[in-house]
């Protein structure tokens, strides 16, 4: 798992590439989110276009990121969901918990309307 980080319009965009699993990526995602929160940055967009597979540990980490960020009155939104990720989120009913967007432009605009 690789995660690239950038800031756009005051939103931290984390682009994930690789499998998001307990062994590969969950801890790295946790560290990136914790680091951003410690810097006072609580609006995050996770771009999952490069994530072909997610397991229960990766799914749990997404939920943990959402809950941790909400505690700071921030938000986590998802963009670029692949078919497998959509399937997992749908089966677990978490698709209704996360705000998801087709494009990064739409997702970034949603932060502006909720600010």
Does 25 score more than 90 pLDDT? no
* Contact indicator for 44, 74 with CB cutoff of 8 Å: yes
CATH code for the domain defined by 2-114: 3.30.750.24
> Residue 76's closest CA among 18, 37, 24, 23?
37
Distance from C-alpha of 75 to C-alpha of 29, rounded to nearest angstrom: 15
Distance from C-alpha of 53 to C-alpha of 57, rounded to nearest angstrom: 11
pLDDT 10s digits, 51-110: 999 999 999 999 999 999 999 999 999 999 999 899 999 999 999 999 999 999 999 999
Q: What pTM value is reported for the model?
A: 0.93
Partners of 45 in the β-ladder: 13, 77
pLDDT at 97: 95
The domain spans of the chain are: 2-114
Segment 35-48 shows an average pLDDT of 95
* Contact indicator for 60, 35 with CB cutoff of 8 Å: no
Query: 3-state class of 104 per DSSP?
Result: helix
What confidence category does residue 30 fall into, taking pLDDT thresholds of 50, 70 and 90? very high
């Amino acid at each position: 798992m690789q995660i690239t980080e950038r800031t756009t319009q005051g939103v931290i965009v984390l682009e994930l590439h690789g499998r998001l699993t307990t062994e590969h990526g969950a801890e790295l995602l946790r560290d990136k989110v914790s680091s951003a929160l410690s810097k006072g940055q609580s609006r995050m967009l996770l771009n999952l276009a490069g994530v072909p597979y997610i397991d229960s540990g990766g799914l749990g980490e997404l939920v943990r990121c959402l809950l941790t960020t909400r505690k700071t009155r921030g938000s986590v939104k998802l963009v670029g969901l692949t078919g497998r990720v959509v399937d997992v989120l749908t089966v677990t009913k978490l698709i209704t918990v996360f705000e998801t967007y087709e494009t990064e432009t739409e997702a970034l605009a949603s932060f502006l309307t909720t600010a």
